[in-house]
Amino acid sequence: MSYYDIDSILTDAEKIPCTFQLDIPDLGYLDNTPTQPLKAGTKVNLPLWLAEMLAIANASDTEGKPFVTFDLPPALGNDVVQALKADPRAVPLRDQSAHFYGLATQMMELSEEQELAAILRKTFVIRASEVALYARKVGGVGHKGKGGADEGSNLGVGGAGEDFLRALDEWERSLFRKAHDGTKSGKEWMEGIKKH
């Protein structure tokens, strides 16, 4: 994750539910009430880039408590996790968050939920093989998409895979694109060899 990485920056904009632990007179605007002080116990959805530091900033002091505590975002909530346990392929991850895995990774760094981490790992492995399967299918047959420029929106495959591919998160999409382009270039190379 580079400093300049666009997807990483967009992932950091994902919001997670936070609870402030102390009264702060000047931050009322975070709770839509700029004129009033922010009371301890107020729940606010904050982007990761803000929440992360606020949650760990003060915690190292002996008597200090963190400015905010946070909960897992709805994208990693119980409903989603139960669905993932049942069948990872059936969950439209993109509806939860366009940067589902990015968000999940960040959250795993902040909290230690061993079980959730294991479920997410399994989810990725199962979905990745599915992604590879579709990418090979699409890349192998004569596919209309040319070059990288229009590749971003060019995920239409038709048939049963369409719903699945539409619901990929950004990371899976890039995986699909790479697998797809790889298969396609491989095929083109093989054809080129035959001609000469």
Partner 1 sequence: MPMYGDLGNKLVQHAKRTQNLAHLPPYQTELVRAVTREVRDLDKDVASLLEPFQGSFDPSADQPTACTLLVNHLSIRRNKRCLLAYHRTRTDKLEELVWNGSDVLDLAGQQAGGANGASAADGGASSSLSPQEEDYVRQYGDLLAAYKGQWTDIDLTGSLEPPRDLFIDVRVLKDAGEIQTEYGAINLTKNSQFYVRQGDVERLIAQGYLQKLG
Q: How far is the CB of 83 from partner 1 (least distance, A)?
A: 28
Smaller CB separation from partner 1, 67 or 124 = 67
Smaller CB separation from partner 1, 9 or 125 = 9
Smaller CB separation from partner 1, 48 or 91 = 48
Among the listed ranges 76-84, 87-95, 101-109, 144-152, the one in contact with partner 1 (CB under 8 A) is: 144-152
Looking at the chain, list the stretches that DSSP marks H as alpha helix, in order from N- to C-terminal side: 6-11, 48-56, 78-86, 93-96, 100-110, 114-140, 161-166, 170-195
Cα 120 from Cα 93, distance rounded (Å):
11
Which residues in the 149-178 window bind partner 1 by CB under 8 A?
149, 151-153
What separation in angstroms does the CA of 166 have from each of 20, 93, 98, 179? 37, 9, 11, 16
Which residues in the 43-102 window bind partner 1 by CB under 8 A?
47, 49-50, 53-54, 57-58, 61, 63-64, 67
Token pair, residue 51, equals 């929440």
